[in-house]
A and B are shown apart, each in its own frame.
Chain A
Amino acid sequence: MEQRFKILRYILYGIELLVLFVLQGTPNLVPELYGGRPNLLLPAVLTIAMFEPKLPALFFGAAGGLLTDIGGGEVIGFFAIIATVLCYFTSYLTSDIIRTSLLTAMLITLIAVPVTLGLHFLFFYVFKGYGEIVYFFVNHYLSRILYTIAAMPIIYFINRNLAIRIASIE
């Protein structure tokens, strides 16, 4: 019985990731703020990791990262690697060291999102030699980072409800 609910939860997480993938890529749906739009998959996999054990967390991190890579049309695996590592350690932190709450979720996101998008900026902007590094970071990546962090609480509550409600049925 417990196994069945676990599978149900994983299926729902999978659907959530697919829906967020579609939503974040739909033109003119999420309004642009100061040249940036939020990456919805990143907070989604991070919050999933907060409510799941290490193994499922890392697989959802890989799945969310791969979807982000596919949507971006850049190198497949870049976001996947980062998200896998982040989700693994997020799950480790929230299961063994700190309690999962909105505050801790925000703290983790405040570190994870700038790291991920900062690395993206480094590899896909700075190393490509486009120039105007500071201008572009401030006008594109900063708003993208803040927007992604701002989307976190909504996704956190969705996943928290999902995890708690299914756990209560169990």
Chain B
Amino acid sequence: MKTKFSRFATRISVALVIMSALVACDESDGFQDGAAPNPQPRQEMAYVVNQGSMYSGIAGSLDAFSLTDGTYSNSIFSATNQQSLGDSPQAGVAYGSRLYIAVFGSNLVWAIDRDTWQIAAQITTTAPEGICAADGAVYVTNNDGYVTRIDTTTLQAEARLAVGPNPAHLTAADGHLYISISDGYNYNGGYANGCRVAKVRLSDFTKVGDIMVGVNPGPIVADGAGRVFVVARGNYADILPQVYQIQPDGTATVLCEGSDVAVAGENLYVMNQVTDWSVVPAVNRVSYTIYDTQSGKVKQENFIPTDQQPVAPIRLIAHPTNGEIYVTSNASLTDYTSPGYVYRYAADGTFIARYDAGIAPCDIFF
């Protein structure tokens, strides 16, 4: 019996050692790398910020495409730098010789070289969301209530200004920053401490006042003449999103209904998205209208034909000089973890191309 047992134990031991060797072989986590793409001349590129999915643990990414030949390159940041862009990037801006990307979840702003896409600096700042550049500096909104000024020569955060709860997007016009104060985490209180656009003087980085707008302001743009338009996103329930125009006297008036805006020249592009989730499958109705920024009148309705619209739009962006329109989109209304799309249209709404972007493309900058 002893011999039998010893033979049995030996076999078990051998089997366990073999199984152990098999399973001990490790595979590293699936970081997506690749050959570093070749950057193209800076003026011909558009950059796409992909938010990824925090819920699913998917980091964001930065794509680029050529405005001349349409060549699209995915994940240029990670392919160039062999490291992740970070979690939940929100927006970017090209300024001078660098690109700046605000990465909300990772509490940082990347400064990368505009020609080589290599990292120039990692600038730590809390929960950055909106970003813009003006007068030699880059400005980001911090979700904890501040705007931070980044010196573009030292690449350091040099000043921080309290502006109001949960500042979201911002734009520069007429020597000032205009910052949407959303109070977005105060949904139980009806976003009551937001409903305004903070105005900050660029020359001395001082807040000069607030302009009252609708509930939960978000996307904000300015045309070349300094006219500022902001989307009050409402409460995602009974208060619908509306576009406000800020008047020279410091008040704001409702221009139209709309969930996102973009501006090019004197064209204000308004996207209005209404989704009916009570039916299966959900029905998404999206309208695209062009307004004249000077008169506020409708110039063209449905400028993107229905059969050429994205199924699940996220953002609307206009190129400031060539007037092209871009709409970023999820793969579908219910798919938030697949790569999305960038739809490209000419200034007259003619469809040009659809590009395969990263997951949740949420901003395009040039």
| Chain A bound to chain B | no
